[in-house]
């Protein structure tokens, strides 16, 4: 926090206790609080959630916390962009007032947080049945980490409403289920994905991309759009759609070979109800989603077809 310039209208809290005092006053004033959980490196996607929170509630709070529990030991916890000053400045430009809780890892995880799940001690939250597939295949402990930190923050912030981006569709499904099953008294809002003008979904990890990689980063969105277009015009057969999308990624991979490495992680067409793969024809709505490595950066995206989360 040393050297941090706090812009007008923005209140920054480093301790949970001080944040709770601020929050308590809002309750005493019978006003409402909208909450946007983030890991910082704010982009227009986050700011659109902030705008939604502002429109729906009297006050807005954000948390900025790079949550160690949702990174596995081989992932980018150490290099994840930490841009607190720029985040606060962007917020101040976007709205007249907001509270930002920026807690320490030690306070968030009083029992400690070992990188290896098998060595961890303390309380963790798991949402079974929704966390192992799709993103969970490559990132088996990711949603345990997300559900744990979001439940901690919902207990701390106690917002009337919380705002998530649809870009992380599985995260939305997991948190929806957690809020429901654990009786969190909060309204969850899932807001549309914000995209760059060419269609690339906004993500803090886009900053990792070199200009050449950025050029190829659209490969996943293009593959999802192809499936959506085929679904509308020619076939509802999920395996056929996935084969066409996979072929598009493979073709792009070959074109890019000399300039940039592209690796498909998965392409999926799943039911929004249970996140299980659609095996034959898509009967109702579905989530078309995927993950692709462009260079070392893992990009995810999704399209909702005839369905809302």
Catalytic residue ranges: 46
Angular region, 129: left φ>0, alpha ψ -120 to 50, beta rest: left
Both structure tokens of 60: 């807005």
Instruction: Report yes or no: 14 and 100 within 8 Å, Cβ to Cβ.
Output: no
Contacting residue, 135, 160, 168, 265, with ligand PAF by CB under 6 A: 168
Nearer to ligand PAF, 174 or 241 (CB): 174
Q: Is 39 in the site for ligand PAF (CB under 6 A)?
A: yes
Q: Which stretch binds ligand PAF (CB under 6 A): 16-24, 34-42, 233-241, 247-255?
A: 34-42
Nearer to ligand PAF, 146 or 305 (CB): 146
Q: Which stretch binds ligand PAF (CB under 6 A): 33-41, 47-55, 186-194, 272-280?
A: 33-41
Q: Is 244 in the site for ligand PAF (CB under 6 A)?
A: no
With CB under 6 A as the rule, give the number of residues binding ligand PAF: 10
Q: Is 166 in the site for ligand PAF (CB under 6 A)?
A: no
Binding mask 50-89 for ligand PAF (x = CB under 6 A): -----------------x--x-------------------
* DSSP label of 139: S
- Rounded to the nearest whole angstrom, what is the least distance from the CB of residue 229 to ligand PAF in the complex? 28
Nearer to ligand PAF, 67 or 166 (CB): 67
Alpha carbon distances (Å) from 29 to 23, 32, 33, 55, 292 = 10, 9, 11, 18, 47
Nearer to ligand PAF, 37 or 295 (CB): 37
Instruction: Report yes or no: 224 and 290 within 8 Å, Cβ to Cβ.
Output: yes
- Rounded to the nearest whole angstrom, what is the least distance from the CB of residue 169 to ligand PAF in the complex? 11
Nearer to ligand PAF, 126 or 228 (CB): 126
Query: How crowded is residue 257: how many other Cβ atoms within 10 Å of its Cβ?
Result: 10
The owner of tokens 């073709």 is 251
Work out the burial of residue 168: count CB atoms within 10 Å of its CB; fewer than 13 is exposed, 13-18 middle, 19 or more buried. Answer: buried
The owner of tokens 């906004």 is 202
201 forms beta bridges with 195
Give the CA radius of gyration of the chain: 20
Task: Return the residues of window 137-156 that contact ligand PAF according to CB under 6 A.
Answer: 146, 149-150
Q: Which stretch binds ligand PAF (CB under 6 A): 36-44, 211-219, 239-247, 287-295?
A: 36-44
Nearer to ligand PAF, 39 or 230 (CB): 39
Contacting residue, 12, 16, 38, 218, with ligand PAF by CB under 6 A: 38
Residues in the chain: 309
CA distance 233 to 220: 20
CA angle 69, 71, 75 (to 5 degrees): 160
Both structure tokens of 113: 């947080």
By CB under 6 A, name the binding residues for ligand PAF.
37-39, 67, 70, 146, 149-150, 168, 171
């Amino acid at each position: 926090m040393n050297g941090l310039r706090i812009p007008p209208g923005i209140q920054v809290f480093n301790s949970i206790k001080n944040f709770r005092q601020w929050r308590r006053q809002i309750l005493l004033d019978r006003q409402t609080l909208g909450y946007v959980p983030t890991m910082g490196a704010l982009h227009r996607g986050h700011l659109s959630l902030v705008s939604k929170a502002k429109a729906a509630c009297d006050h807005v709070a954000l948390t900025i916390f790079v949550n160690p529990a949702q990174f596995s030991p081989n992932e980018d916890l150490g290099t994840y962009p930490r841009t607190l000053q720029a985040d606060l400045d962007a917020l101040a430009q976007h709205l007249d007032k907001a509270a930002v809780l920026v807690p320490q890892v030690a306070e968030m995880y009083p029992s400690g947080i070992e990188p290896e799940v098998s060595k961890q001690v303390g309380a963790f939250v798991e949402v079974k049945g929704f966390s192992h597939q799709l993103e969970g295949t490559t990132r088996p402990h990711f949603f345990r980490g997300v559900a744990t930190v979001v439940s901690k923050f919902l207990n701390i912030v106690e917002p009337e409403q919380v705002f998530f981006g649809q870009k992380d569709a599985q995260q939305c499904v997991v948190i929806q289920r957690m809020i429901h099953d654990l009786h969190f008294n909060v309204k969850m809002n899932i807001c549309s994905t914000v995209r760059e003008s060419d269609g690339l979904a906004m993500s803090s990890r886009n900053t990792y991309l070199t200009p050449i990689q950025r050029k190829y980063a659209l490969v996943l969105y293009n593959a999802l759009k192809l499936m959506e277009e085929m679904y509308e015009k020619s076939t509802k057969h999920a395996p056929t759609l996935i084969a066409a999308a996979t072929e598009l990624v493979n073709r792009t991979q070959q074109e890019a070979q000399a300039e940039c490495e592209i690796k498909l992680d998965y392409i999926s067409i799943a039911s929004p109800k249970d996140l299980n793969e659609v095996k034959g024809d898509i009967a109702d709505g579905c989530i078309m989603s995927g993950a692709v490595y462009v260079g070392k950066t893992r990009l995810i995206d999704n399209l909702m077809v005839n369905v809302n989360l």
